Structure 1
Amino acid sequence: MFGLKESEIATLITAVSVEGGGDLDRVSIENRFARATWSGLAEPGDRLAGRAIQQLGAARALSAVVEHWNTERFAAELSADGDPVAGDDMRQAIDRWMPRLKSDTALIALRQAARFGARLLIPDDELWPERLNDLDWHAPSALWVRGTDAALAGIVDGIALVGARAATGYGEHITMEASAGLVDRGYTIVSGAAYGIDGMAHRAALASHGLTVAFLAGGVDRFYPSGHDSLLTRIVENGAVISELPCGSPPTKWRFLQRNRLIAAASLATIVLEAGWRSGSLNTAGHAAALGRPLGAVPGPVTSAASAGCHRLIRDYDAVCVTNPDQMAELAPLVEREIDVSEIDSELRISSATPGSEVSAENVDTVGARSPETTRLIDALSARSARTADDIAARSGLAITAVRAHLGLLELDGRVTETGRGWKRVAVAKPETSRVFRSPSTDSE
């Protein structure tokens, strides 16, 4: 099976299957293994990877990579539906995937998942969050889960509470009341387990004996941030911790931004409780609006920089001003959801009809002037140990040619330096705004 021992694959897939794995046939095992492999082969949100999985099937798409299909054949297969794939786009996608195509990578991730009690969830499973399918080609190939089935089933009633890491006492107080109040009304609290607003949302839900789900930007075997290790352990016991990345994957700034799309997509509505002007939580709000999900924002003191992002959403992007759990619940009433999500009162939706008032994941500035490629490249570099271009390509999910080109430009900017052993990131003082959105250092992985 893909050049590996079928018996070993079958044993591991059975061990991590969310359905128990007892009745899985060969085709099902092959499909699950292929999806598990794709979760580490392509970076989160990879459009062509998602398209290949949808159109060819996960197993055939993986076989195409393993068998080294050329660009023309791959592009022709994906263009069969009448929507052509540019040859250059296809070549770049293959170049992104190939550095990670190692025979034992998926097996190691599966062994680690079995060791930590993590399970593999795919779209065929009953507990798969159906709203994630709204992401279409950007949907995750699989989810890695630690937690209870009740929490996974409860995502259908999920509402996202997000906000700044550098939360104030005001923000934490509002979050505590919002989370507890929404749990009392039957909602599942969805967030990202970060410091500040996210952590308070999870803690309040647990204290109210409700369900809560945390989406991580790295593998579910390595909790991040480390300061929330005990909190995430409690969530595993009473809720669910989910990631689209296989066990062993480190969190990076790019993966945090992509993780936000899952929080927005899985939830009925998204509430931003406290956020600075360039807070990472505005990225989640952008994804929610792009998906047509209701979006709310809690106002704060007009003199507070910590609430400037919420005021920005209300003033410029038509977010609904909400101040208590009742108003938050009005964004996505559970009764209306059971009838048809698309029939939620249009007055509570984000308007996209007014030019210049649209909010999306792309036009909310959360990472300064960096391009996505630069962000991924910087995340893959270390300030202490030199790394080769091939290693950087595998870590960043970028094509080796793109890595070499970007490294040259970054060297001219003085942001990286080349040594006899490889490339290193140049340590620079972080700007004040970096406190809003921290990127974990890969050196500590």
Structure 2
Amino acid sequence: MSAGREELLARAALTRVLEPGEELGGRWLRRWGAVRLIRMLSAEGAAGTEAPDGAGAERLAGYRKRAVAADPERDLAQIAEAGGRFVVPGSPEWPGQLDDLGDARPVGLWLCGSPHLRIWALRSVAVVGARACTPYGAHMAQTLAAGLAERGWVVVSGAAYGIDGAAHRGALAAGGATAAVLACGVDVRYPRGHAGLIGRIGRQGLLIGELPPGSHPTPSRFVLRNRVIAALTRGTVVVEAAYRSGSLVTARRARELGRFVMGVPGPATSGLSAGVHELLRGEAELVTDAAEVVELVGGIGELAPVRRGPVLARDLLDPAARRVLEALPAGRTATAAELALAVGTGTDEVIGRLYELHSLGFVERQGDGWKLTARTDGAATETGVTRRGGR
């Protein structure tokens, strides 16, 4: 057996022994390495004098029972039969950004799907949020994910109900890339209502999990998998989240890791947006579409378009001409002398500007006076502008 194979088997076995994100196990791994650690926890190690430190006798006994029951050869064969694989730190497919988790780094990752994880992770964004989302939240998540996918970004989420599912569907509908980080084995379809969606992600994208085949989720595993979502991606977007939402855990972990944290605002009266708004008060950047997300997480030059209202014809006028136009009263005529007094310039200058405005259709001449055209006068009335001299 080669050293590489030994490492693979040892880490596959340890995913049966250690819980995801267990920092004590991470310290053991850093100190002794996977091959030596699994031997220490095996029946052979129990019979000797060497044993890991830092754990109580009862906890250590539990580890030993798990180690004895682990069958990494079977797990690797099972994942291969499902069309998947197991990747470990140091392998070509391992995403280096997961190393930012330190001792909480995954022991290894079980994958289903053909894309290369490390390459996908380099250009990925997490879209997370409430399970019991509103139609607005689902729409925003789906639209954001579709926009990111169309721009060549991988959308990462947790395959849960609500925002997660909407994000995955948006990316898939756009023909883009999406990956789901699961809190169970990648061969387990959970939640059951998303069995079809998870199957589709496995065929068209990637399913990612820390737990070996056949493992079922627990509440703590959902929280712990959030750290993988945060570390794996360039940034995390939260779309709807109450104050106690697990997606806020993902966002704050992302911030701790130096990733971009973004939030989509919602109604101030919505409890499902309260957590997002709390983030936006200082921990997150406000985003409303995919272009704004990419401007933050993307490379140089990937800028969102400039936001502005509609350009009106009067916006294109020379400042001097605009001042004369603004001085014209609504509903009546004014002479060039009156306008010159109102604007504070010479009569000849005003006359020149009036003819310029006349050629552009803003004003008309009536005898010795000048008046706004019906279109211009009406626009002023509709926008509630009170012109100098108006009644």
Normalising by the smaller structure, the TM-score range is 0.7 to 0.9
Change (3 A) 1:88 1:239: closer
Give the conservation status (yes or no) of the 8 Å contact 1:155–1:213.
Answer: no
Query: How many angstroms does 1:201 deviate by?
Result: 0.6
Query: How many angstroms does 1:60 deviate by?
Result: 1.0
Give the conservation status (yes or no) of the 8 Å contact 2:14–2:67.
Answer: no
- Distance in 2, Cα, partners of 1:268 & 1:318: 16
Task: Give matches, 1:36-75, under 5 Å.
Answer: 36-66=12-42, 67-68=44-45, 73-74=50-51
RCO higher in structure (CA 8 A, sep ≥6): 1
Unpaired runs of 5+ residues, structure 1, are 1-24, 76-86, 338-445
Change (3 A) 1:288 1:91: farther
RMSD: 2.2
Deviations 1:251-288 (A, max 9, x none): 11010001100000000000101111211111111211
Query: How many angstroms does 1:150 deviate by?
Result: 4.4
| Structure 2 residue matching 1:245: 3-state secondary structure | coil
Identity of aligned residues (%): 42
- Distance in 1, Cα, partners of 2:220 & 2:66: 17
| Structure 2 residue matching 1:144: 3-state secondary structure | strand
Query: How many angstroms does 1:97 deviate by?
Result: 1.2
Give the conservation status (yes or no) of the 8 Å contact 2:112–2:186.
Answer: yes
Query: How many angstroms does 1:51 deviate by?
Result: 1.8
Instruction: Determine if the alignment matches structure 1 residue 189 to structure 2 residue 155.
Output: yes
Instruction: Determine if the alignment matches structure 1 residue 329 to structure 2 residue 305.
Output: no
Change (3 A) 1:71 1:254: farther
- Distance in 1, Cα, partners of 2:49 & 2:295: 51
Structure whose alpha-carbon radius of gyration is higher = 2
Query: How many angstroms does 1:332 deviate by?
Result: 1.2
- Distance in 2, Cα, partners of 1:211 & 1:188: 5
- Distance in 2, Cα, partners of 1:90 & 1:73: 15
Name which of 232, 236, 239 aligns with 2:198.
232
Look up the match of 1:32: 8
- Distance in 1, Cα, partners of 2:228 & 2:88: 14
| Structure 2 residue matching 1:161: 3-state secondary structure | strand
Task: Give matches, 1:285-324, under 5 Å.
Answer: 285-315=251-281, 317-324=282-289
| Structure 2 residue matching 1:102: 3-state secondary structure | helix
Task: Give matches, 1:145-160, under 5 Å.
Answer: 145-150=111-116, 153-160=119-126
Give the conservation status (yes or no) of the 8 Å contact 1:74–1:90.
Answer: no
Give the conservation status (yes or no) of the 8 Å contact 1:273–1:310.
Answer: yes
Give the conservation status (yes or no) of the 8 Å contact 1:296–1:331.
Answer: no
- Distance in 1, Cα, partners of 2:301 & 2:60: 44
Query: How many angstroms does 1:89 deviate by?
Result: 4.0
- Distance in 1, Cα, partners of 2:40 & 2:23: 17
Give the conservation status (yes or no) of the 8 Å contact 2:24–2:54.
Answer: no
- Distance in 2, Cα, partners of 1:281 & 1:181: 21
Change (3 A) 1:26 1:162: same
Give the structure-2-normalised TM-score: 0.72
Give the conservation status (yes or no) of the 8 Å contact 1:151–1:211.
Answer: no
The code of the aligned residue for 1:58 comes to A
- Distance in 2, Cα, partners of 1:241 & 1:58: 24
Task: Give matches, 1:105-184, under 5 Å.
Answer: 105-150=71-116, 153-184=119-150
Give the conservation status (yes or no) of the 8 Å contact 2:76–2:85.
Answer: no
Look up the match of 1:260: 226
Unpaired runs of 5+ residues, structure 2, are 303-391
Change (3 A) 1:64 1:131: same
Query: How many angstroms does 1:294 deviate by?
Result: 1.2
| Structure 2 residue matching 1:242: 3-state secondary structure | strand
Give the conservation status (yes or no) of the 8 Å contact 2:148–2:290.
Answer: yes
- Distance in 2, Cα, partners of 1:326 & 1:244: 32
Name which of 176, 182, 185 aligns with 1:219.
185
- Distance in 1, Cα, partners of 2:156 & 2:190: 16
Query: How many angstroms does 1:164 deviate by?
Result: 0.5
Look up the match of 2:368: none
- Distance in 1, Cα, partners of 2:213 & 2:116: 22
The code of the aligned residue for 1:50 comes to G
Q: Which runs of 4+ in 1 moved over 6 A?
A: none
Query: How many angstroms does 1:110 deviate by?
Result: 2.8
| Structure 2 residue matching 1:215: 3-state secondary structure | strand
Query: How many angstroms does 1:61 deviate by?
Result: 1.2
Name which of 267, 272, 277 aligns with 2:238.
272
Give the conservation status (yes or no) of the 8 Å contact 2:230–2:254.
Answer: yes
Give the conservation status (yes or no) of the 8 Å contact 1:109–1:248.
Answer: no
- Distance in 1, Cα, partners of 2:187 & 2:93: 21
Change (3 A) 1:335 1:132: farther
Deviations 1:221-260 (A, max 9, x none): 1111111111111111111001010001111101000110
Give the structure-1-normalised TM-score: 0.64
Deviations 1:140-175 (A, max 9, x none): 111110001246521210100000110111001111
